[in-house]
Structure 1
Amino acid sequence: METLANLESFVRSAENGGFSAAARQLGLTPAAVSRNVAMLERNLGVRLFQRSTRKLTLTEAGERFLETVRGHLRGLQSAIADVSRDDEEPAGVLKVSMALTFGMDYLLPLLPEFLARYPNIRIDWDFENRQVDLISEGFDAAIGGGIELAPGVVSRPLAPAHIIAVASPAYLAGKDLPTDPSELLKFTGIGMRSVRTGRIRNWTMRNVAGQEMAAQTTDTLVMNDPEAMCRSALLGLGVALVAVPHASPHLESGRLVRVLPKWYADAGPISLYYATRTMLPAKTRVFVEHVVEAFKKQRLAQRFAGSLG
């Protein structure tokens, strides 16, 4: 009878294309994963992987075995998790990635209550405006928008990432306000360069009536960080197209105003990303639940909706 460790090592190695990535996901060493797979192959009397110095590929027998065993493995993990979940005390290092300003404004304030509930969890958070590889970089979770889903990762939407046009009252003083996005060409634009692609972002805006129109801007200033764009707008340097969460504190204080209050662009959801493993570590599971609960309690999905303007 094969052990669960051998089967899980095989499935994770197949899904991630290597022993090292599987080891990071399972919390083992690559050598341990390799030994588990070798033991499974020896017990079955068949080679499941073709090994080379650069990559790991399934044999024909390995592909058939993966299709057969994967669903059963998830069922076993789920059964084990259901039995043990109530008795498992969340503990360990919780490594999470998020953008600096968004994390400081909306995630960091959740920590006092979270750590009071789960005192055995230690926090290791990275504040970076980039997409991380959860599995290869060893993160338990990541929070952000527009992240491409890698194999073995799922997303849980938290709120919309709506893009709105904002400027300072001083910059707009004495100017004729635009009536639609095409008229943004008349203003100095503060553009956003994608950290991932290096390209300047272009937006199609829509209004509550369902009309759509390209936002025509002259990007005199280009930044690769939304907070820098907001700071530039606060200095009266032009009109910035930024996500509501970044603009919201400045809108509430009156230091920025919406230039086209009935128009917004949809950049997709702000999501919480984590591994698809059915048996999530308790520390990750309670973190996901805590964040989802807090976003609902604070009605952040509604507050981040540019369409409400």
Structure 2
Amino acid sequence: MDWHKCAQSFIQIVEDQSFAKAARSLYSSSSALSKHINWLEDQLGVQLLQRTTRRLDLTAEGECFYRQAKQLLNEWEQLKETVCNKSNEPRGMLTVGISVVFGNRYIIPLLPELLALYPQLKINVKTLTYPVLHNIENLDLYFSHKPPDFFSSNMDHHTISDAYLQMFASPDYLAEYGTPSQLADLKGHNCLLSTGNDTPNRWEFENGKSVQVQGNLIADNNGALIKAAVAGLGIIFTSPLAFANELKGSLVPVLPELHSPRWAIYAYYPKRKTLPLKTQAFLNYIEEKLQDILPVMPIKS
């Protein structure tokens, strides 16, 4: 047993609020982590955790140990990163948070080439959904469309792309029902509605334009709406980032000069005096590659 490993286990258990989840995060087992906590408590002579079948609670001593142990481990990691940065080779474990759609479509496919480029680097991918973001500060890097004020002030950010919504339909649908030539024409079309939009029946565009739409399919799953659009059911209003592959003939833009107001996609990382080399290398690589594969955005109107 050693203090560093056992303290790391304790911190992970506290942040995951579960021995099982912490074990998966650390590639260990619940029984091993339990031994680490027992060893810490024996060495310190105090109880750190109050454990029941339903929850974990920190004792007052556990709260104190958590805060100071986390600070010490962070300082240790920064020391290691400072030394590693001098070798100019990214190395170590990088914990990256991704969303299901953006992360799986754009980030994951880039990892094989990245890891071949930096053989000393290891990546731990965590798929996160809103609003479960209480552990975001424990990530080295996180990609999100949420604005900076959504997150803790302890996070820095970097804009890696912008995004917007645009209308698309399959060639078969347009061949059967016609191609709209103006917004007013949408009232005669079947529009596929997303409950992810604040106003599913009203599509809003840049420069204050909007149109009331209707359709026979509404869903909270954008992937389902995309498949329905590809199958020829109607017109979809979504981001090209969600289905870049389907743009190759399966879906074509409708009124391509129109798009919603834009928003940014950010990379978030904990505030530090110096960005770790592994984080900087990953971020630089991903940003460069995304410029090549993301759909081309139209000139701002």
2:97 touches 2:143 (CA, 8 Å); kept in 1?
Answer: no
Unaligned runs of 5+ in 2: 145-159
Secondary structure, in 3 states, of the residue corresponding to 2:47?
coil
What CA distance in whole angstroms lies between the structure 2 residues aligned with 1:102 and 1:42? 42
TM-score w.r.t. length of structure 1: 0.65
Secondary structure, in 3 states, of the residue corresponding to 1:298?
helix
- Residue 177 (1) aligns with residue 182 (2): yes
Structure 2 match to 1:68: 68
- Residue 148 (1) aligns with residue 150 (2): no
What CA distance in whole angstroms lies between the structure 2 residues aligned with 1:90 and 1:218? 53
Q: Residue 41 of structure 1: CA displacement?
A: 1.6
2:92 touches 2:121 (CA, 8 Å); kept in 1?
Answer: yes
What CA distance in whole angstroms lies between the structure 2 residues aligned with 1:67 and 1:3? 15
1:203 touches 1:265 (CA, 8 Å); kept in 2?
Answer: no
Cα gap change, 1:70 to 1:250, in 2 (>3 Å): closer
What CA distance in whole angstroms lies between the structure 1 residues aligned with 2:103 and 2:21? 29
Q: How does 1:110-149 map to 2 (within 5 A)?
A: 110=110, 113-114=113-114, 116-118=116-118, 140-142=125-127, 147-149=130-132
Unaligned runs of 5+ in 1: 124-138
Q: How does 1:1-309 map to 2 (within 5 A)?
A: 3-84=3-84, 86=87, 103=104, 106-107=106-107, 110=110, 113-114=113-114, 116-118=116-118, 140-142=125-127, 147-153=130-136, 154=139, 155-157=142-144, 158-167=160-169, 168=171, 169-170=174-175, 173=178, 177-178=182-183, 184-192=186-194, 205-207=204-206, 209=207, 211=208, 213=210, 216-222=212-218, 226=222, 229-234=225-230, 236-246=232-242, 248=244, 256-259=252-255, 261-264=257-260, 290-295=285-290, 297-298=291-292, 300=294, 303=295, 305=297, 308=300
> Cα deviations across residues 243-264 of structure 1 (Å, max 9, x unaligned)?
1124656667595123373331
- Taking only the aligned residue pairs, the percentage that are identical comes to 23
What CA distance in whole angstroms lies between the structure 2 residues aligned with 1:26 and 1:112? 22
Cα gap change, 1:160 to 1:148, in 2 (>3 Å): farther
In the alignment of these two chains, the number of paired residues is 274
> Cα deviations across residues 83-116 of structure 1 (Å, max 9, x unaligned)?
3464988699x99976579846x45763563354
What CA distance in whole angstroms lies between the structure 1 residues aligned with 2:251 and 2:265? 25
Aligned-residue CA RMSD (Å) = 4.7
Q: Residue 152 of structure 1: CA displacement?
A: 2.2
What CA distance in whole angstroms lies between the structure 1 residues aligned with 2:183 and 2:300? 19
Q: Residue 305 of structure 1: CA displacement?
A: 4.8
TM-score w.r.t. length of structure 2: 0.66
Structure 2 match to 1:126: none
What CA distance in whole angstroms lies between the structure 1 residues aligned with 2:19 and 2:280? 25
